[in-house]
């Protein structure tokens, strides 16, 4: 806690810090343990966790990074949060994010800018940037995030921590503010694969409050790691790994590409077979993702009407109440997504955009399925670059185009009065762009993916971390964690 208090003024990971409450909970836990109360010692007793602020927490503000929910205190905990608390964990605060998860730098928060602990002039990534920076700065031990199109994996990579996007349905979404419900998953951050595995076992599993949550049994992921023989010279013998060709070409920083290649040869030295694999539908993933995610968002975000939750403005009639609440409460990027999604779903455009994007989604799924029949897992960078400067992509849009296709649409927010025609022109240019990244495709296919730090590129005081992404078949989190643990 004292480390959190010391580092928070510069890192600004948290929208809400509950350090005094956490201190009291910890003291209470000590008392219960001293009095011999065995129930007090859950698997996460006393472990400080950070929770992304789009997950509901009873008795703590939950804003989703949006002014529209300023002052909102949910009456219940999200299932993942409740399970952490039942295991003894102490929620130390709510971490910063791009508004409703829409963004890649956390600069899209309505409240504050979070900095990257490796270099405070750089972004932590996003949208779960606060959860990643909090673990990276050791302000808490583990944290929860959400990943719709990369929001756990890219900030894990930028902040040099472990990030896991579980299989769609592995963790309940009950209490997660919906962005794109068919893509959203609750994910975990830790400073090691072991810590990440530990919280996954706690939060995963069926929940009757989320009909899309899976009833597959939850392994004890962490104890499976304990039984591994790390001294064996070829612990990955027999493991087949495909390195996705399209992710290492043009548009990827050379330092990132060489770290990933270095990681691949390390995996080979550990006994695995690593081969190049091509994903034919790869270039279609990004435009399809943005159409689907925005379409779902346009529907999901209609609930912020100024009546049900959060801030209410004074108005003369109902329409004015809706209009004023949304006009003042929602940020520019969020409005853009709502407009884009509404457009893609509207009569006359539906077939050309939404339906085609769904067809692409099927293609993407199939090409992953085919590749994962041949390989135990696929690897790629988690992001095409390391963390970039705060504000960098705001003022130099050309560098943004060239350097990091993943953030192109997100950063539109900063162009000022960009209109739909510009947005569509950009998505057309993305359609033509060859370099697209699988963090998005992974969501379209619902697959689990683990990011582990795998190297550094020059920059900052001590170098800037690069993350290796490992993608597996549905419900193969155990495999990914084992390989990640050995690799680490």
Question: Which residues participate in catalysis according to the annotation?
Answer: 52, 127, 151
CB of 239 to ligand GLN, least distance (A): 28
CB of 331 to ligand GLN, least distance (A): 12
**Cα three-residue angle 91-119-254, rounded to 5 degrees:** 115
Stretch that binds ligand GLN, among 75-83, 98-106, 380-388, 425-433 (CB under 6 A): 98-106
Q: Which of residues 250-269 bind ligand GLN (CB under 6 A)?
A: none
Q: Show the binding pattern over residues 46-85: x = contacts ligand GLN (CB under 6 A), - = does not.
A: ----------------------------------------
DSSP 37: -
57, 127, 143, 196: residue in contact with ligand GLN (rule CB under 6 A): 127
CB 15 within 8 A of CB 133: no
Is residue 381 part of the contact set for ligand GLN (CB under 6 A)?
A: no
CB 388 within 8 A of CB 403: yes
Cα separation, 97 vs 83, whole angstroms? 22
**Angstrom distances, CA of residue 282 to CA of 78, 294, 364, 367, 433:** 34, 20, 7, 8, 11
CB of 108 to ligand GLN, least distance (A): 8
Residue placing its CB nearer to ligand GLN in the complex, 406 or 468: 406
CB 96 within 8 A of CB 114: yes
How many C-beta atoms surround the C-beta of residue 433 within 10 A? 16
Cα separation, 332 vs 321, whole angstroms? 19
Q: Which of residues 403-442 bind ligand GLN (CB under 6 A)?
A: 410
Stretch that binds ligand GLN, among 72-80, 146-154, 274-282, 371-379 (CB under 6 A): 146-154
Residue ranges in 252-355 assigned as alpha helix (H): 254-269, 285-300, 318-329, 332-345
CB of 338 to ligand GLN, least distance (A): 13
25, 107, 147, 404: residue in contact with ligand GLN (rule CB under 6 A): 147
62, 104, 139, 325: residue in contact with ligand GLN (rule CB under 6 A): 104
Stretch that binds ligand GLN, among 101-109, 238-246, 305-313, 347-355 (CB under 6 A): 101-109
117, 149, 285, 460: residue in contact with ligand GLN (rule CB under 6 A): 149
Report the DSSP beta bridge partners of residue 16. 94
Report residue 65 as tokens: 């990074």
Is residue 384 part of the contact set for ligand GLN (CB under 6 A)?
A: no
**Angstrom distances, CA of residue 114 to CA of 106, 176, 214:** 7, 21, 34
Cα separation, 421 vs 443, whole angstroms? 27
Q: Report which of 293, 264, 280, 278 is spatially closest to residue 440, judged by C-alpha positions.
A: 293
Residue ranges in 124-217 assigned as alpha helix (H): 129-136, 153-159, 193-203
150, 251, 384, 484: residue in contact with ligand GLN (rule CB under 6 A): 150
Report the DSSP beta bridge partners of residue 464. 457
Determine the size of the site formed for ligand GLN (CB under 6 A): 14
**Angstrom distances, CA of residue 76 to CA of 180, 205, 309, 311:** 22, 19, 14, 19
18, 102, 277, 451: residue in contact with ligand GLN (rule CB under 6 A): 102
Q: How far is CA 345 from the centre of its chain?
A: 26
Stretch that binds ligand GLN, among 18-26, 142-150, 384-392, 477-485 (CB under 6 A): 142-150
Residue placing its CB nearer to ligand GLN in the complex, 149 or 285: 149
101, 187, 235, 285: residue in contact with ligand GLN (rule CB under 6 A): 101
Residue placing its CB nearer to ligand GLN in the complex, 281 or 443: 443
Residue placing its CB nearer to ligand GLN in the complex, 51 or 293: 293
Residue placing its CB nearer to ligand GLN in the complex, 106 or 198: 106
Residues forming contacts to ligand GLN in the complex (CB under 6 A) are 101-104, 127, 146-151, 179, 293, 410
């Amino acid at each position: 806690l004292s480390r959190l208090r010391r580092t928070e003024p510069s890192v600004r990971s948290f929208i809400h810090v509950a350090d005094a409450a956490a201190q009291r909970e910890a003291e209470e836990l000590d008392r219960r343990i001293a009095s011999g109360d065995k129930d007090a010692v859950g698997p996460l007793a006393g472990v400080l966790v950070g929770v992304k602020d789009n997950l509901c927490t009873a008795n703590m503000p939950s804003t989703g990074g949006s002014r529209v929910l300023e002052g909102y205190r949910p009456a219940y905990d999200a299932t993942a949060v409740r399970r952490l608390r039942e295991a003894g964990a102490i929620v130390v605060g709510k971490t910063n994010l791009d508004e409703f998860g829409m963004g890649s730098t956390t600069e899209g928060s309505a409240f504050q800018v979070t900095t990257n602990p490796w270099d405070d002039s750089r972004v932590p990534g996003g949208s779960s940037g606060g959860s990643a920076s909090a673990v990276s700065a050791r302000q808490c031990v583990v944290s929860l995030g959400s990943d719709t199109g990369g929001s756990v994996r890219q900030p894990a990579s930028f902040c040099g921590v472990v990030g896991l996007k579980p299989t769609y349905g592995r963790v309940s979404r009950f209490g997660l503010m919906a962005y794109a419900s068919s893509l959203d998953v609750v994910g975990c951050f830790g400073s090691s694969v072991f810590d990440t595995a530990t919280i996954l076992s706690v939060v995963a599993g069926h929940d009757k409050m989320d009909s899309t949550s899976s009833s597959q049994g939850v392994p004890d992921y962490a104890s499976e790691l304990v039984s591994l023989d790390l001294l064996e010279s070829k612990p990955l013998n027999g493991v087949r790994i495909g390195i996705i060709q399209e992710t290492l070409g043009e548009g990827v920083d050379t330092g990132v590409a060489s770290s990933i290649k270095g990681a691949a040869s390390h995996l080979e030295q550990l006994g695995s077979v690593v081969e190049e694999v091509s994903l034919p539908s790869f270039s279609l993933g990004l435009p399809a993702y943005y159409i689907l995610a925005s379409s779902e968002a346009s529907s999901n975000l209609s609930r912020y009407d100024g009546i049900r939750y959060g801030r209410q403005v004074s108005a003369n009639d109902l329409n004015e109440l809706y209009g004023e609440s949304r006009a003042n409460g929602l940020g520019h990027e969020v409005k853009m997504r709502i407009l884009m999604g509404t457009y893609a779903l509207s009569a006359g455009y539906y077939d050309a955009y939404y339906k085609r994007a769904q067809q692409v989604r099927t293609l993407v799924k199939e090409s992953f399925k085919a590749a994962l029949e041949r390989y135990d897992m696929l690897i790629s960078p988690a992001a095409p670059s390391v963390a970039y400067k705060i504000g960098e992509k705001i003022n130099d849009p050309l560098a943004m185009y060239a350097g990091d296709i993943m953030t192109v649409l997100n950063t539109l927010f900063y162009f000022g009065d960009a209109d739909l025609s510009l947005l569509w022109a950009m998505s057309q240019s993305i359609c033509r762009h060859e370099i697209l990244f699988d963090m998005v495709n992974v969501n379209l296919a619902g697959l689990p993916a683990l990011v582990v730090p795998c190297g550094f590129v020059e920059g900052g005081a001590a170098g800037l971390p690069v993350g290796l992404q490992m993608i597996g078949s549905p419900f193969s989190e155990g495999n990914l964690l084992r390989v990640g643990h050995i690799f680490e």
